[in-house]
Amino acid sequence: MTDDSLPPPVTASRTVFFVSDGTGITAETFGHAVLSQFDLRFRQIRLPFVDSIEKAHDAARRINESFALHGQRPIVFSTLVKHDLSSVIRSANGMHMDLFQTFVAPLEQELDVKSTHTIGRIHNAVDTEEYKNRIEAINFSLAHDDGQSHKNLAEADVILVGVSRSGKTPTSLYLAMQYGLKAANYPLIPDDFERGKLPSSLPPFKAKLFGLTITPERLSQIRNERRAGSKYASLENCRYEVNEAEHLMRREGIRWLSSTTKSIEEIATTILQEIKPDRREY
């Protein structure tokens, strides 16, 4: 079968379990990535905090029940670091995809170090510097949403600018939540366009500025969902604002990208590459 031959139409859906000794976020991310390669619908069940033999037997029982009910073995994505818990799950009648069992053993061999088999290492480190920085970044980004505060901009890792509803707020919060970056954001508004200048507190921080733009058509559509029929949402006004904002950013030498067809994850990743290459590169 080649890439051109389409998969058969969706008929039945298979049941998928995400089993984890922690939150299950990794198991879901891992499973969703793999499942996204199939044009099928899946019945999804998440079983987090499976951190004892009793809970593992309970999870195995649910997998077996699903098999009995639907007559097809469920797909089981699991991230269980303890062998005994993992064995119980694997004894259930399912198709097992186990992240740790698959990848940890070869890595132990490669690194010549035994793994710790410690549960909850991934999202559990509340007392680390990294976690504190993330919470601080979320608070910073919230306090500096939509130009609300001019304080401590020197602390910002990035300052997003763009017209209202170009995607600045969710992107700022995502950068804070996912990467612990202090992300402020400022709207570019008609006042700025008339003056032909950036909001007055921004010029000292030009190196941190990053612009978001958007097509006038998409902007008008988004604004109409909020304020249908307003001048603010009109295509004419959106054209004016986007045009002026792009002029301003070009004149000020601000890097920018278009958020029109990008998800917040894609926007954030691109900004990260542009603004902070040093954090994650050698």
What is the footprint of its own copies within residues 235-254 (CB under 8 A)?
Answer: none
State yes or no: 164 annotated in a binding site: yes
Task: Compute the distance between CA of residue 197 and CA of residue 249 in angstroms, rounded to an integer.
Answer: 9
> Tokens 């990848």 — which residue?
103
Known binding residue 88? Answer is: no
Q: Is 5 annotated among the ligand-binding residues?
A: no
d(CA 30, CA 55): 22
Check if the beta carbon of residue 88 is closer than 8 Å to that of residue 53: yes
Q: How far is CA 229 from CA 3, 12, 33, 214, in A?
A: 45, 43, 40, 20
Kindly state whether residue 102 participates in binding its own copies, applying the rule CB under 8 A.
yes
* Position 38 contacts its own copies (CB under 8 A): yes
Binding of residue 30 to its own copies (CB under 8 A): yes
Does 33 contact its own copies by CB under 8 A? Answer: yes
Helical segments of the chain, H only:
25-35, 53-70, 83-90, 99-111, 129-143, 168-179, 190-195, 216-226, 235-252, 264-275, 277-280
Q: Which one of residues 19, 56, 75, 271 is an interface residue with its own copies (CB under 8 A)?
A: 75
**Binding test (CB under 8 A) with its own copies, winner from 53, 54, 135, 155:** 135
Verify binding: residue 14, its own copies, rule CB under 8 A.
Answer: yes
Q: Is 120 annotated as a binding residue?
A: no
What six digits make up the tokens of 3? 């890439």
Task: Name the DSSP class of 63.
Answer: H
Query: Cα–Cα distance between 160 and 267 in angstroms, integer?
Result: 11
165 is in an annotated binding site: yes
Task: Give the one residue of 139, 152, 200, 230 binding its own copies; rule: CB under 8 A.
Answer: 139
Q: Given the DSSP bridges, would you call strands 42-47 and 95-98 parallel, antiparallel or unpaired?
A: unpaired
Mutual angle of helices 168-179 and 264-275, in 10-degree steps? 70
Q: Which lies closer to its own copies via its Cβ, residue 26 or residue 224?
A: 26
Q: Report the residue number, 178 or 234, with the smaller CB distance to its own copies.
A: 178
Question: Which C-beta is closer to its own copies: that of 114 or that of 231?
Answer: 114
Specify the residue, 153 or 177, whose C-beta has the smaller distance to its own copies: 177
40 binds its own copies (CB under 8 A): yes
Per-residue interface string for the shown chain with its own copies, residues 170-209, x marking contact by CB under 8 A: x--xx--xx-------------------------------
Binding status of residue 84 toward its own copies by CB under 8 A: no
From 1-9, 147-155, 201-209, 245-253, span contacting its own copies (CB under 8 A): 1-9
Q: Distance (Å, rounded) from C-alpha 159 to C-alpha 207?
A: 9
Q: Is the dihedral of CA 217, 219, 225, 226 positive or negative?
A: negative
Distance of closest approach, residue 201 Cβ to its own copies, in angstroms: 22
* Residue 40 or 235 with smaller CB distance to its own copies: 40
Sequence ranges of the binding site for ADP: 162-169
